[in-house]
Every structure is written in structure tokens, then in C-alpha cells.
Amino acid sequence: MKYKIAVIMGSDSDWSIMKEANELLLEFDLEPIIKIISAHRTPKDLEFWANDFEKNSIKVIIAGAGGAAHLPGMMAAFTSIPVIGVPVNATSLNGMDSLLSIVQMPKGIPVATVAINNAHNAAILAVSILGSFDADIFMKLKKYKDNLAEVSRNKKLPPN
Amino acid sequence: MKYKIAVIMGSDSDWSIMKEANELLLEFDLEPIIKIISAHRTPKDLEFWANDFEKNSIKVIIAGAGGAAHLPGMMAAFTSIPVIGVPVNATSLNGMDSLLSIVQMPKGIPVATVAINNAHNAAILAVSILGSFDADIFMKLKKYKDNLAEVSRNKKLPPN
Amino acid sequence: MKYKIAVIMGSDSDWSIMKEANELLLEFDLEPIIKIISAHRTPKDLEFWANDFEKNSIKVIIAGAGGAAHLPGMMAAFTSIPVIGVPVNATSLNGMDSLLSIVQMPKGIPVATVAINNAHNAAILAVSILGSFDADIFMKLKKYKDNLAEVSRNKKLPPN
Amino acid sequence: MKYKIAVIMGSDSDWSIMKEANELLLEFDLEPIIKIISAHRTPKDLEFWANDFEKNSIKVIIAGAGGAAHLPGMMAAFTSIPVIGVPVNATSLNGMDSLLSIVQMPKGIPVATVAINNAHNAAILAVSILGSFDADIFMKLKKYKDNLAEVSRNKKLPPN
Amino acid sequence: MKYKIAVIMGSDSDWSIMKEANELLLEFDLEPIIKIISAHRTPKDLEFWANDFEKNSIKVIIAGAGGAAHLPGMMAAFTSIPVIGVPVNATSLNGMDSLLSIVQMPKGIPVATVAINNAHNAAILAVSILGSFDADIFMKLKKYKDNLAEVSRNKKLPPN
Amino acid sequence: MKYKIAVIMGSDSDWSIMKEANELLLEFDLEPIIKIISAHRTPKDLEFWANDFEKNSIKVIIAGAGGAAHLPGMMAAFTSIPVIGVPVNATSLNGMDSLLSIVQMPKGIPVATVAINNAHNAAILAVSILGSFDADIFMKLKKYKDNLAEVSRNKKLPPN
Amino acid sequence: MKYKIAVIMGSDSDWSIMKEANELLLEFDLEPIIKIISAHRTPKDLEFWANDFEKNSIKVIIAGAGGAAHLPGMMAAFTSIPVIGVPVNATSLNGMDSLLSIVQMPKGIPVATVAINNAHNAAILAVSILGSFDADIFMKLKKYKDNLAEVSRNKKLPPN
Amino acid sequence: MKYKIAVIMGSDSDWSIMKEANELLLEFDLEPIIKIISAHRTPKDLEFWANDFEKNSIKVIIAGAGGAAHLPGMMAAFTSIPVIGVPVNATSLNGMDSLLSIVQMPKGIPVATVAINNAHNAAILAVSILGSFDADIFMKLKKYKDNLAEVSRNKKLPPN
């Protein structure tokens, strides 16, 4: 049975960014559960989904949002499942607004924030969380990183 | 019967800022309803209070919050009552985090944002909203502003 | 008789942003009064228009401006009608200059500031202000937000 | 007959900063005209004072303001006398709000902006403007700057 | 047997911030492993500690650092254990430098970043990660958050 | 005889911005003296040009520069002629670097700073400085501003 | 025998920026040693390369990196060879993240930071370091700068 | 014979920061040449000192300055000796103004910038530059850094 990771976002316009989380999770043979949940447009659904994720043994929630990005923080407020936030660059402020809205959470309710637009890293972080309890995934992640190293070492610079 | 204005804040530590809203509302003979509601610590209360405010004919909600300040935006998501947000300077970032978290709301769910720490102005704004439909309050606000002008004109500079 | 909302802007170059306020107001069957008023080029007109708006029972003023965006604040200085400010992204600073110029108003003279370039939200905020005193508009806004929720729930992600 | 320079500010709380302009102008034997004029509290006085300054042959207007600092820009809008703006550090944003509100003026209506809180430099700039047309003042300013150089050259570092 | 969480920091001057992580972990009956490891002063120790943490079944690494805060990112580079980064406000830039240095990690090597100076939240996040695989901890965290809610609901505002 | 205004810039790449100063000065029948002077590439020329400008009765110096924009400040250091600085947006930082490098001058050596890329306004400011001593220019500037007002009042919004 | 300068970067995507360092070094008849070394993907290689550079008498290391740019700082941690850091503009934050990550190094481990994307200047700085001990290179650099001055003096503005 | 390092600063108020450079240089048995040279107050001295430093075989120039910090860049413009810039936090902008003024130098004229207020690191950087050509200094710096490592490893956390 595969581990389930929720990948949620405030709007379908976030998909072009968030799909990289989906791809990485599939690459690690995990089961992404993809949902559009808007903290602002569907606030009454937040509690339902938080409960649903807990009932379905979701291990990690990856939440992407732009602007006054409340989705990751609100999901963290409604559940004790770890929440990873992806600040999406969606306004004229280059993602600084979403970064601060996601990372500056108050005492008691953290969101694990990754780089602006870096949904890929949110998925890697989810994998490393699973890896802390699942030796196979830990080894797989080690190999993934060894491979990153190898690719980096073999890079050739373009002829100049 | 007095108009009711909710004055809510995420934490009692915001009171030293938010009490200025309370004071101004009392000065205008309005009825402030003061509540501590934390979007992050008591997320399940948000919908209850939003409904409660609607049932009790609250005319305007003034919401203060610092850091990843989600309270004003979430209240705006749960109700159609106009929400005024007060960014509270509560972290090392001088209130820039709360300002962006409050003001950069997505299409459909605005928060009427005032200056950092300026709860007094949130109350003035609430008064001006009431004044749009209540001629007495409009006149009272005009007098208040005329008085501001008079005080300004009569200011003496300290001897130098 | 329809409620009147002034939609003013410093320059016709702001229209591509501000027209979204116009559209939303028409959608709610309100009467937008559109004017170009420049705080800097036509400062002597400010008082005239402020008085004109008061005489014509304008309920809310929506003011958009970029750069050292003084129009919303000056309009708020000249009248007690509530003023909603739309920071327009008009310089190399991504709208941060207009956001700060509009939102950081001093004690006594607030501007209800919305997100950068988000004239649509300025209009929603105006509607919610009207809704505080007009039950039909309140219900209409509730439906509008219910519809936002429905659209969000029915969104399908693009095939990936 | 001495040249007259207006030194205006939005509030008496700006005086601790603006008095340095006053002092420097007196040192150059000019005539400072000190006024508190608030763009936001006394907007209707702006035109009066602009006209008054023109009638009284004010050569330069020095205007200090903090936060959403509209006073320098509005004074520049109402008169063709050159306006020097002093961004006052008056909020949690370290004067960045007043700097941007003052300097980012639109085409046609410039404000000559100096450093945050540097009212002294506003006065020096006013002197240099007079010096362009008055050889005595030009020479006096040259001597002032020669003296700055001498003082700098003679500075001893504290024993360490 | 208790779960082990490494709590590392670049300098003993970070302890006044990082001790809050220690306290929270003890409150949850976990075993904090406290180390001073400087990415810049002891770079050759990084690999040793990364291996040591892996051998000792450390479940999560909490790393605090200020300025050009490289410790969390370098620890994440050397191990596949999840790393939580705490930006410490240690320079004149209010923690913005450490926040960006920690959060903006490249593809493949994420750091789970929490709010500036919020070591308490880093520990809560570590607890929630453990809770994803340990039902007792999950329940304990739920109670902790329920308690936060109760405390918030029972807060009285100071007499004003 | 026409008044002479120096329009200098660090590089010919600044010309696309600075030519707007040239155009406005010609429109006011003034004599622009255009020079490329780089504070960094030709530092030894600074004193020569400062002296040359003084000998040739240059009334105002307009200096544009980008990045670590030292030209306006150095010119102000070498001469007592008033210097107007135009921050040019020439790096990835949107002109914020040049704005701060130009405006934050120390006590004694001000630069009259205008908005980023707004060479047009530098020229208007130069005109207003001349206008303080030349009634014809003052009247011409008044007409120019009256015309701005007329154009603004006559603007039609595009059909929507 | 030519002096050797290492030019390293975190990723081949940095080459379009870093190649300008290569070109300038060749122009000065120095020997650039070009390597891709990722602090995050190949952290275990850092010590090897630091030692290798010391054994091979590398005089200066030029390191370019974007985002949470750890490469220059980590190289400075592993060796006593002077390290010049080039902040590469590689994320939505315009290079501000890499600038702060590179420049804000703690006591004891400096990185000589140049402007964002300015690899050319990193090479000039390396040349000037060599010039401090090699009179030929010093003279060559003087000529290079004299030439910059000449080119600047001979620049013609485009016809306007 | 000792190597000479110039340590210059714009004002004696910078000494409390710059003296740390002095101390470190003495610790390495180098000869600091301390001068107050203001780019803005004594611009005509810049060329003299640049020539003087060249004639006296100064190996490196360390220049500290705050605000619109032109001293490092101008010194780099006047000489080919490597210049290290120390941004001094001297205004309300937390040193961001001096950092950008120093680091964002144009093509051809670099300044080796270190962290805000970190004059100690400027001196370390100067030592490492000398170390590239002087094996004794290189070994001494290695020992200094080994000592930093030892001190870091031996740090005890305060009892908590």
C-alpha cells in the first residue's frame, strides 16, 4: 500500500507550479491526492478536508498558494498532519507576499515552507519525512540525491 | 439602538494596539463587540463567529493580526460583512509581513486594509461606512475631521 | 434608484486596471460614476469633486493610483465618504510604492486599501459596505460568494 | 531683504526633525517661514498656503512628512515654487513609506527629495538653489563646504 | 525508547532562541540532541555529524542560523533526514537575510523553513512529522492544539 | 541669453531615459549641456567638469545614474551648483539600488532626487528652480501645469 | 607561468553569467580553472576541491550562485584562498536572495561580494588582487581602466 | 617589513565599527594606515590619497561608509589597488542603503563587499589576499581559522 500525500492548491492557476510536486511523488511511487481547495472561496470546506485527510491517513499535506496565501496556514490550523507550504509567485510582488504569509506563522501552528514556486522541493521534503520512518524510501531518496550529485559532476559547460 | 462593530484580534497581545479602535468607537457612541478569535488556534470557531456576527447585525468587523496575519482574510472568507484589517507589527519584520498577508487578498474576497498598527483608523473607517447610510454619523464624522483641522491649525511648535 | 459609487483614477492609463471595478459594479446593478481626477495635475478639482460626491449621495469612492499615489488619501482628506484605494502597479517598483503611499495614512484619515491592481476587489468591498445596510445586496453578495465557492469546487485541473 | 524659505510639516511631531532645516537657514541669514500644514487634516488650506507662498515671494518650500507623506507632493501640485521633500521616519517601516510616497511623483509634478530625516540637507539644497542666482550665497555655501572639508580633515579618531 | 531530534545551531549566541525548541521537545517527551555546529567555522564537521545523525536514527534535524545562514541548507545537503530551518534574527536586516538564505534552496535539497526566531514552531513541526507515523504523538499534538484553542478562548483582555 | 542646465549621465545607455530631460528643457527654451561623465570610469574628470560648470554659469546640474549610482552625489560633492539626481533602473533591483545610492546623502551634501527613470521631472524641477528667480519662466511653468490640468480634465476613457 | 584563478558555479545554468569572468581572465592572460561544484548537490566534493585548489596554487576563487547561494560561503569556509562571490539572479526575487546569502557572512569567514550578475567585475577584482603583488598585472589593470576612461570620454550619444 | 593596509572611513562616527578591522590587522602583525577621508566632504582629496596609497605600496584598501556610501566605490575608481567595502549601518534603513551603494558597482570598477558592519571580516579578507602571495600569512590564517573551529567545538551552551 502506497503512502498518500495531499497536494492542494487555492486555484487551478497554481497547477503549472504544483504539478512538479505531483510528478516527483509519482516518481517515488507515492500516491498524490490532488485537490483544489481555496481558503478564501471555500473556507467552509477546510475543516471537512482536514478531517478527510486525517481519516484517510494522509501522511503529509503539500499546499501551494499565492498572494495573501492563507491555505497552508489554515490547513495547519485545522489538522495535526504536517503541512508543507509552497509560496506561489502570483502577484506583482514576486512571491514575497506569499512567502511571508506562509512562513511567518505564530507559535503553535507551523508551516514547513519551501522556496518560492519550488513545488518540486515540497515533494522532496515530503519524501524525506516518509524516509524518517521507512528505510526503503530513505534509501531511495539517498539514491536520488546521489544521482543529483552524479549529474552535477558530469555536467559539461556549453562551448564558449 | 446603537450600531454594533466587532473588534476582533488573534491574541490578547494585540490589545495594546486594538484598544484604540475600541476607544474611538465608544467616542462615536457605537457598540464595540470585542473578541479574541485566533484563525490559527481556534480555526473551528471562525464559522461560528461569522454566523454570530451576521445574526447580531454587526455592521463592520475590525480584525487585527500580526505575522502571517490570516484572521482578517479568513473572516472575510466566512462572511459578507465588510472586514477592516489592521496589520499589527508583531515580528522582526516591522509589520511588513502582516501588511502583505492582509492586503494581498485574491479576487472576490477583499479586506479593507489600514496602516500598520493604526487601529484608530480602522475605527474611523468603520464610522465612515456607517456614515454613508446614517446622516447623523456622517455629520459627527465631519465634525470630528473639522476638529482635527482646528487642532492642527492651532498647534504651536515647541520653543527651539 | 441605484446606489452610486464613484470610480476615480489619476490617469486614463489606470483604466485597464480600474475597469474591472466598473464591470463588477454593473454586475451588481449599481451605478458607477467614472472620473479621471489627478491629485497632482488637477489638485484644485479635488475639493469640488469631494463636495459633488457628497451632494450626489455617492456611497463609496473607489480611487486607483500608481507611484506616489496621493489620490485616494487626498480624497479621504476632503470628504467623509468612505474611500477605497487601489494601488496600481505603474512604476518599476512593482506597486510597492503605491501600496505604501495609499495604506500608510495617518491617524484620522483612513483609506480602505485593497491588493495591488485588484480593482475588482475594491468593487466587491464597496458592495459589502452597501450590503451592511441593504439586505438585498447582502444576499446578492452571499450568492456571488457561494458561486465563487461552487466554481472553485468544480474546477478541473488541466490534464497533465 | 532676506530670501524667504517656507519650512512646513504635517505635524508638530515632525519638528524634532525639521528644526534642523530652520537652524541651517538662520545660519545662512535667510528667513524661514515655519508652518504646520497637514495635507490630510487641513486639505482645504493647501491652496491658500500655496497662493500665500507665491504672493510672499517664497523662493523654496521645504516640506517634511512621514508615513503616506502627501504634503510635499500636494504642495508641488498647488504651486510652481520648487518643493523639497523630507521623508520623516514616523512609522514602523523606517521611513521607506515616506521616501517612496515623496519621491515617486508622476510626470509633471516633481518633488526634490532628500535623505530620510535629513532636514538639514533640505536646507542646504535650498541654499544652493538660491546660490545659483545670488553670488554671495554661492560663495557662502562654498565656504560652508570648505569648512566641512577642513573639519573632516582635522578629525582625530578616538583613542582605541 | 524516545525519538531523537537533533537541535543544532551555528553559535552559542543562537541558544536564547533555540532553547525554545529544546523545551517543547522535552514537553513532548522526546530526546533532543543539542549541538553547536558552524557551517562556516567547522565545515569539515558537517559530514561527520550528518553521518552520526543517520547512524543514531535521528528522526528530524532542527537547525537554527542567522545572517548568511548556511547551516540548515548544508545539513540538508549532507543527509536525507528532514531538516527544519529556523532563521535567527542576528544582523541589522531583521532576519530577512537568514530567512532568504534558508528558504530559497534549489531543486532537490529543501529545508522546511519556519518563521524568524520561531524555534518553538520548529519543534512543533518536528512533533507533527513524528505524529504522522506515531498515533500517540499525533494524539498528544492534537491535545496540545486543543489546549491552545482553550487557552485562546479563555483569554481575558486587560481592563482598559 | 538662455539659462544653461547640464544634463550628465554615467553611460550612453542612460540616454534613452535622460533624453526626456533634454526634450523638456528645449521645450522651455533653455540650453541643455549634455555630457557623459562616469564617476567610476572617469573619476579624475569630475573636478574638471564641476569647475567648468561653475565657470560657465550652469544653473542646475541634472545627473542620471543606475546601480551604485555615485555620479549625482559626487557632482554635488565637487560643486555648490544644485544637483538633481535621476535614479536609472539599470540592474535587476528595479532601480531601488540607484534610488538609495542617490537619495541617502550625508549631512552637508544633498542631491535633489526625483522618481526612478523620471528624467522629465528632473527637468521640470530645474525649470521651477529657475522660475524662483525669473518671472517669465515661473509663468511659463504655471501655464505648463495649467495645460497638464486641462489635458487631464479632457481625457476620455477608452470605450469599454 | 600563468596565475590560476578558479571560476566555479553551482550549476551549468550559471554559465551564461559566469562566462564573462572567464573572458576577462583570458584577456588578462590568466589561467581560469572552470568547475561546476554544487554546495547542495555535491557537498562532499567541497573539501576535495578546496584542498585541490590550495595544492594547485589557485590564487583566487570566483564562485557564482543563485537563490540560497551557499557555494561562495562554503568554499570560503573550507579554504583560506580569497573567495569572490557573484550573486546570480536565478529566482523571482531579482537576486536579492543570493546577494544576502553571499554577503552576510559571519565573523571570520568573509566572501568578497560583487554586484548581482556581475561576473565580469569578479574577474577584475581577482586581477586587482594579483596586481597588488605583480607590478605587470597592476600596470595592465591601470591601462585597462585608462582605456575604460577613454572609451567613456569618446562615447557619442545617439542622435535624438 | 610589514604589509600596509589602508583602513579609511567617511567619518569618525564610523570608527566604532571600523576599529575591529584595525584590531584584526594588528593581530596579524600587519600595518594599518588609518585615515578619515570623506568622498562627499573632501572629494578633492580622493585622488591624492589614491596616489599616496599607490606610492606607499598599500596592498589593500578597506573602506567603510554608511548611507549613500560612495567612499569605497570612488576609491576603487581612483586606484587599481583592491578595495574592500564595509557597509556601515548609519541610517534608518538598517544598512541596506550602504550595502546596495557599495556592492552594485558597474562593470570595470568592483568593490569587494563584506557584510553590514563587519569590518572584522574586511580585515580577514585583506589577510587572505596577502596570504595568496605570502605563505607565512596563509599559514597564520589557516591557524586562525583552525582556532575558530576549536573554539566553536568547545563552546558550552549556557545552563538552561
Give pLDDT tens digits for E145-159: 999 999 999 998 876
CA atoms within 13 A on the CB side of G49: 25
* Interface membership of H106 toward F (CB under 8 Å): yes
D148–H12 C-beta distance less than 8 A: no
The three grid cell numbers given for residue H6, joined into one nine-digit string: 589602508
Strand ordering across the sheet containing D112-113: D31-36, D4-9, D58-66, D83-88, D112-113, F112-113, F83-88, F58-66, F4-9, F31-36
pLDDT at F124 over 70: yes
**Is the per-residue pLDDT at F160 higher than 60?**
no
Is the confidence at residue E144, as pLDDT, over 90? yes
Among C27, C57, C33, CA closest to C124:
C27
Look-up of cell digits 499589527? B88
Would you say how long chain C is, in residues? 160
pLDDT at E33 > cutoff 80: yes
pLDDT above 70: residue B159: no
CB contact under 8 A, H104 and F96: no
Contact H74 F78 (CB under 8 A): no
Partner-chain contact D38 B152, CB within 8 Å: yes
Asked if the C-beta of D42 comes within 8 angstroms of chain B's C-beta atoms, the answer is yes
Residue range G136-148: mean pLDDT, rounded? 98
pLDDT in tens, D35-68: 999 999 999 999 999 999 999 999 999 999 999 9
Q: How many CB atoms lie within 10 A of CB E56?
A: 10
Predicted complex: ipTM over 0.95: yes
Distances (CA, A) of G150 to F36, G25, G123, G146, H121: 12, 21, 21, 6, 35
Q: G104 — contact with chain H (CB < 8 Å)? A: yes
Q: Which residue of C has its CA nearest to D90?
A: C106
Helix, strand and coil percent figures for chain A, each rounded to 5: 50, 20, 35
**Of A95, A115, A160, Cβ closest to residue G67:** A115
How far apart, in whole angstroms, are the C-alpha atoms of residue E135 and residue E132? 7
Residues recorded for chain A:
160
C68 phi and psi angles, rounded to 5 deg: -75, 70
- DSSP result, G4-24: EEEEEESSGGGHHHHHHHHHH
- Strands (E) across chain H are located at 4-9, 31-36, 58-66, 83-88, 112-113
List, as one string, the DSSP characters of chain C: ---EEEEEESSGGGHHHHHHHHHHHHHTT-EEEEEE--TTTSTTHHHHHHHHHHHTTEEEEEEEEESS--HHHHHHHH-SS-EEEEEE--STTTTHHHHHHHH-PPTT---EE--TT-HHHHHHHHHHHHHTT-HHHHHHHHHHHHHHHHHHHH--PPP-
Give the C-alpha separation, H69 to C125, whole Å: 45
Q: Mutual orientation of helices G119-131 and G15-27 as an angle, nearest 10°?
A: 30
CB contact under 8 A, D12 and B158: yes
Nearest to E8 by CA among E78, E59, E83, E80: E83
Q: Are chains H and A in contact at 3+ CB pairs closer than 8 Å? A: no
Chain E residues 43-102 within an 8 A CB cutoff of chain A: 59-60, 80-82, 84, 99
- Which helix (H) or strand (E) segment is F108 a member of? none
Strand partners, H55: none
User: For D12, which of B148, B149, B157 is closest by C-beta distance?
Assistant: B157
Q: How many CB pairs under 8 A join A and C?
A: 45
The SS3 of residue B153 is helix
CB contact (8 A) between residue F40 and residue H105: yes
| For residues A59-80, average pLDDT | 98
What tens-digit pLDDT sequence spans chain H (160 residues)?
Answer: 799 999 999 999 999 999 999 999 999 999 999 999 999 999 999 999 999 999 999 999 999 999 999 999 999 999 999 999 999 999 999 999 999 999 999 999 999 999 999 999 999 999 999 999 999 999 999 999 999 999 999 998 876 5
pLDDT band at F71 (very low <50, low <70, confident <90, very high): very high
What average pLDDT does this structure show over A87-100?
Answer: 98
The grid coordinates listed for B91 are 515580528
* Of the candidates E23, E116, E112, the residue with the CA atom closest to the CA atom of residue E66: E116
Instruction: Evaluate whether chains D and F are touching (3 or more beta carbon pairs less than 8 Å apart).
Output: yes
Residue pair G8/G36 in contact (Cβ under 8 Å)? The answer is yes
Report the candidate in E96, E86, G103 with the shortest Cα–Cα distance to residue B96.
E96
The C-alpha angle H131, H135, H140, rounded to 5 degrees, equals 70
Q: What is the pLDDT of residue B158?
A: 74
What's the rounded Cα separation, in Å, for the pair H60 and G82?
Answer: 13
Find the CB nearest H125 among G104, G110, G128. Answer: G110
Question: What DSSP string runs through D21-44?
Answer: HHHHHHHTT-EEEEEE--TTTSTT
Helix (H, G, I), strand (E, B) or coil at E3: coil
Would you say F131 and F141 are in contact if contact means Cβ atoms under 8 Å apart? yes
Task: Annotate B5-40 with b (16+ C-beta within 10 A) or e (fewer).
Answer: bbbbbbbeebbebbbbbbebbeebebebbbbbbbbb
Judge: E108–A84 Cβ closer than 8 Å, yes or no.
no
- Which three-class secondary structure string do you get for A16-55? HHHHHHHHHHHHCCCEEEEEECCCCCCCCHHHHHHHHHHH
In order along its 160 residues, chain C shows pLDDT tens digits of 799 999 999 999 999 999 999 999 999 999 999 999 999 999 999 999 999 999 999 999 999 999 999 999 999 999 999 999 999 999 999 999 999 999 999 999 999 999 999 999 999 999 999 999 999 999 999 999 999 999 999 998 876 5
Cell numbers 596609497: residue: H53
From C116, C153, C158, residue closest to A91, measured CB to CB: C116
pLDDT in tens, A96-153: 999 999 999 999 999 999 999 999 999 999 999 999 999 999 999 999 999 999 999 9
Question: Which tens digit of pLDDT belongs to each residue from C77-102?
Answer: 999 999 999 999 999 999 999 999 99
Q: What is the largest CA-CA distance in chain C?
A: 57
Collect all residues of chain B within an 8 Å Cβ-Cβ radius of residue C148: 108-109
Residue F158: predicted pLDDT: 74
What pLDDT score was predicted for residue D157?
85
CB F59 within 8 A of CB F130: yes
Buried b (16+ CB within 10 A) or exposed e, G113-142: bbbbbbbbbbbbbbbbbbbbbbeebbebbe
Residue A156 scores a pLDDT above 90: no
Residues contacting residue E19 through CB under 8 Å, at least 6 positions apart: E119, H160
Give the three-state DSSP class for H2. Answer: coil
The grid coordinates listed for F18 are: 535622460
Average pLDDT of span B109-119: 98
Half-sphere exposure in the Cβ direction for D138 (13 Å, CA): 16
Position G160 scores a pLDDT of 53
Q: Give CA separation, A55 vs A48, E87, E130, H31, in Å.
A: 10, 34, 17, 71
pLDDT, position A1: 76
Residues E39-59 pLDDT 10s: 999 999 999 999 999 999 999
**Within its chain, how far is the Cα of D68 from the centroid?**
17
Assess H142–F contact: CB distance below 8 Å, yes or no: no
Three cell numbers, residue E160: 482598559
Chain C contacts of D43, Cβ < 8 Å? Answer: 46-47, 74, 77-78
SS3 call for E63: strand
Region of G3 please: left (phi>0), alpha (psi -120 to 50) or beta.
beta
> Is it the case that residue G1 has pLDDT exceeding 80?
no
In chain F, residues with a C-beta closer than 8 Å to the C-beta of C41 are 145, 148-149, 151-152
> Which residue of E94, E152, E156 is in closest CB contact with B38?
E152
Assess A23–B contact: CB distance below 8 Å, yes or no: no
- Calpha distance D106→F152 (Å, rounded): 13
- Report whether D69 contacts D88 (CB < 8 A): yes
Place of cell 499565492: A66
Q: Which chains touch H (3 or more CB pairs under 8 A)?
A: D, E, F, G
**Record: contact A105-E128, CB cut-off 8 A:** no
Tell me the mean pLDDT in the region F112-119: 98
Q: How many CB atoms lie within 10 A of CB B159?
A: 4
Cell reading at G19: 562566462
Residue A46 above 60 pLDDT? Answer: yes
Cβ-contact A106, A74 below 8 angstroms: no
Residue with cell 493610483: C65
Q: What are the pLDDT digits (tens) for D134-157?
A: 999 999 999 999 999 999 999 988
pLDDT at A157: 85
CA E33 – CA E18 distance, rounded (Å): 12
Supply H4's cell numbers: 600596509
Residues 6 or more apart from C8 whose CB is under 8 A from it? C34, C35, C36, C37, C49, C61, C62, C63, C64, C71, C75
CB A98 within 8 A of CB A69: yes
Q: Min CA distance, H86 vs chain D (Å)? A: 18
Classified as helix, coil or strand, H19 is helix
Rg of chain E's alpha carbons, rounded to an integer?
Answer: 16
Residue H95's closest CA among H121, H66, H71? H66
